[in-house]
Structure 1
């Protein structure tokens, strides 16, 4: 070992304080998404275990993993809408004059609400017309479409809440205020 490197002792490590969990910081979609995610994790583990350890895979695990992943994505998107963490092009919000940025933010809020209304309506019509059953499980595929519809409706609700908040405050999460520098 070189002379300029000193081995670490237990005294040199700094321990970070643990974040405190406050259940009020989370909404119902967070908890439902967590449950569906763990169902997905168990399903994928069961698929891996049966295929590589037992040598014979369970037929329904692959199809269920695919559908559970879709449900996690749409419910997780509702979380992202609530937190305002979807990907956005922030250049225009940050570098345009305040009135232009605010107008663009309002336009984005309106387009987002319209998009989620359209997505909800299309998903509802698709679920209503789907009569097929899943291949390996005796469950109608329309159940998955209805769960996607729930995700769209939650995204619509959260985007309406965000739009109302933006209109009341006269700002958006993407617009810097004068104090932000």
Structure 2
């Protein structure tokens, strides 16, 4: 399972790195062209926007995995340990249900928009909206990989690249 987790996290990271790099290059090239030649790349803004959508949903899992989302933890801090564990278990079930819901209805939304096309690139909106179910499914996998430690110890994953508790103390 650790091997799967390592490859899954690495794949997710590389997807984010590549999407961010492509988006940055497109935006930079468009700005340079606009100011040096007064000509813009027609599809640059649209593609950058779609990449940002994909970055948001694909990046949700790693942020959740490392405890980077905003959370109000005062209640569980004030509860006795058994009650805090029960509260975190309830939160864990709610989050898992949310990710399943987003995956299911994201697929439905993709189906509804498959015949609509984007204005500049003329691709199906289903490819853009695929970010929701794919991102939610990936977030669910990240969640399932860390949920035991979260429920029992309120502990998130940490590694050399990112540690939310270390960055919170800076």
TM-score interval (norm. to shorter): 0.7 to 0.9
RCO higher in structure (CA 8 A, sep ≥6) = 2
Question: TM-score if structure 1 supplies the norm length?
Answer: 0.76
2:82 corresponding residue in structure 1: 99
2:105 to 118, 122, 125: 122
Segments ≥4 residues shifted beyond 6 Å: none
1:59 aligned onto 2:78: no
Matches of 1:141 and 1:28, distance apart in 2: 24
Aligned length: 150
Q: Partner of 1:27: helix, strand, or coil?
A: helix
Bigger Cα Rg: 1
CA RMSD of aligned residues (A): 2.0
Residue by residue over 1:52-96, the C-alpha shift from the partner in whole angstroms, topping out at 9 and shown as x without a partner, is 222121110011111100111111111112223221111112222
Which of these residues, 5, 14, 18, is aligned with residue 35 of structure 1? 18
- Paired with 2:7 and 2:141, the residues of 1 have a C-alpha distance of 18
**Equivalent residue, structure 2, for 1:46:** 29
Higher helix share: 2
Residues 153 and 162 of structure 1: CA distance in aligned 2, closer, same or farther (over 3 Å) = same
* Equivalent in the alignment of 1:161: 145
Runs (5+) with no aligned partner, structure 1: 1-22, 175-181
Residues 118 and 125, structure 2, Cα contact 8 Å, conserved in 1:
yes
The answer to whether structure 1 residue 138 and structure 2 residue 117 are counterparts is no
Cα deviation for residue 25 of structure 1 reads 10
1:139-163, Cα deviation, whole Å (9 max, x unpaired): 1111111133211110011112222
Instruction: Label 1:70 to 1:54 Cα distance change in 2 as closer, same or farther (>3 A).
Output: same
Which segments of 5 or more consecutive residues in structure 2 lack a partner in the other structure? 1-5, 157-170
